[in-house]
């Protein structure tokens, strides 16, 4: 007998919410959607033939037979919306970043444990084919001891990107460039290389002083607990378009670079007695009108939710890993102010 489809609720009917809705209907049932702008939620409701709400509490109170809430609201609301969903007895999928500080992340984890529910974090770049391949060879010690690593995040976000939104570019709802644009990249650095011991950092708002309340570029120096040293150079000032998202790893037995604009290509490899071959083609990046975002692997996120909740599979990105990404970003921003 075929198991009944998981029933999903969706909070946040913006561009990323649309990406989630498209995947929910392929892997489960979209029961209801919610957005404080009722014109957006009504449009989603009509498109996906489900109920629509403009208040999350109303939706949670009325749709108590749902299983999972997908949270696609501004960063500063992730904690609040996760906790009230967990309190109603639902599992939660929360878009990146998990929250804007480690205290909020800790509160979310404690609430999940209290109600025996799962928190899934969207980190879809972990599924990029070259990232999967490099993770595997690192686990197999093909590169030997990792000596150093370089992360480059060179994207473009112009003034219109920020001024077209009522929350992007604000400190309380957006949080900073590393939270909104590059938390996926920080997650991969942690996932591939490990935890960070020491951080030095500089951040400057060079080109968006009239549109955002934080830095638009920065340089970071890292020392990992493993002894590896590393650097991060990030910016949203790449002229007119995204240029590069890359990680280069230097090991005792090899060097490898994942590059492209979105960590979607294997740009370089030179490994002792080993070569990565036959990489499958990855998905295209998310399209958001005037700009592009990270790779569109959300179907793999939803596959994992179904596998975990219905087949007792292993979670691809757990809440602790979501917290670690937020912790590293928070420490970088603290270092820029010291």
By the 8 A CB rule, do 90 and 117 touch? yes
**3-state helix/strand/coil string of 4-72:** CCCEEEEECCCHHHHHHHHHHHHHCEEEEEECCCHHHHHHHHHHHCCEEECCHHHHHHHCCCCCEEEEC
pTM above 0.85, yes or no: yes
304: left (phi over 0), alpha (psi -120 to 50) or beta: alpha
pLDDT band for position 72 (50/70/90)? very high
State the Cα–Cα distance between residues 72 and 93, nearest whole angstrom: 9
* 20-34, 42-56, 270-284, range with the lowest pLDDT: 270-284
Model confidence over 89-116: pLDDT tens digits?
Answer: 999 999 999 999 999 999 999 999 999 9
Count the neighbouring beta carbons within 10 Å of the beta carbon of residue 161: 19
Helix/strand/coil for 200: strand
By the 8 A CB rule, do 123 and 96 touch? yes
DSSP state of 77: G
**3-state helix/strand/coil string of 206-262:** CCCCCCCCCCCEEEEEEEECCCCEEEEEEECECCCCCCEEEEEEEECCEEEEEECCC
Residue 283 has pLDDT above 70, yes or no: no
State the Cα–Cα distance between residues 69 and 72, nearest whole angstrom: 10
Return the pLDDT at 184. Answer: 95
Model confidence over 113-171: pLDDT tens digits?
Answer: 999 999 999 999 999 999 999 999 999 999 999 999 999 999 999 999 999 999 999 99
Return the pLDDT at 284. Answer: 62
The residue assigned the tokens 């709802």 is: 173
Domains of the chain: 7-121 (3.40.50.720), 127-294 (3.30.360.10)
Express as a percent the part of the chain with pLDDT over 90: 92
Model confidence over 207-250: pLDDT tens digits?
Answer: 999 999 999 999 999 999 999 999 999 999 999 999 999 999 99
Helix/strand/coil for 105: helix
């Amino acid at each position: 007998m075929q198991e009944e489809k998981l029933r999903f609720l969706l909070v946040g009917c913006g561009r990323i919410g649309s990406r989630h809705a498209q995947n929910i209907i392929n892997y489960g049932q979209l029961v209801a959607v919610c957005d404080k702008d009722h014109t957006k939620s009504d449009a989603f409701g009509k498109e996906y033939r489900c109920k629509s709400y403009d208040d999350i509490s109303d939706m949670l109170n009325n749709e108590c037979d749902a299983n999972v809430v997908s949270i696609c609201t501004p960063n500063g609301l992730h904690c609040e919306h996760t906790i009230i969903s967990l309190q109603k007895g639902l599992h939660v999928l929360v878009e990146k970043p998990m929250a804007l500080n480690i205290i909020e992340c800790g509160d979310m984890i404690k609430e999940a444990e209290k109600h025996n529910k799962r928190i899934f974090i969207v980190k879809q770049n972990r599924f990029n084919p070259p990232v999967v391949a490099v993770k595997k060879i690192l686990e197999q010690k093909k590169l030997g001891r990792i000596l150093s690593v370089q992360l480059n995040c060179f994207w473009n976000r112009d003034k219109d990107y920020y001024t077209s939104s009522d929350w992007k570019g604000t400190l309380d709802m957006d949080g900073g460039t590393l939270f909104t644009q590059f938390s996926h990249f920080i997650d991969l650095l942690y996932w591939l290389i490990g935890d960070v011991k020491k951080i030095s950092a500089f951040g400057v708002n060079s080109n968006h002083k009239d549109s955002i309340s934080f830095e638009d570029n920065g340089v970071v120096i890292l020392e990992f607990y493993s002894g590896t040293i590393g650097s991060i150079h990030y910016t949203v000032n790449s002229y007119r378009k995204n240029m590069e998202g890359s990680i280069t790893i230097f090991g005792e037995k090899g060097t490898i670079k994942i590059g492209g604009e979105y960590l979607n290509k294997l740009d370089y490899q030179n490994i002792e007695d080993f070569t990565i071959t036959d990489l499958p083609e990855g998905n295209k990046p998310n399209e958001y009108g005037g700009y592009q975002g990270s790779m569109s692997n959300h179907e793999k996120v939803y596959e994992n939710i179904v596998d975990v909740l219905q087949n007792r599979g292993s979670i691809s990105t757990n809440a602790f890993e979501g917290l670690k990404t937020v912790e590293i970003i928070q420490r970088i921003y603290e270092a820029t102010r010291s």
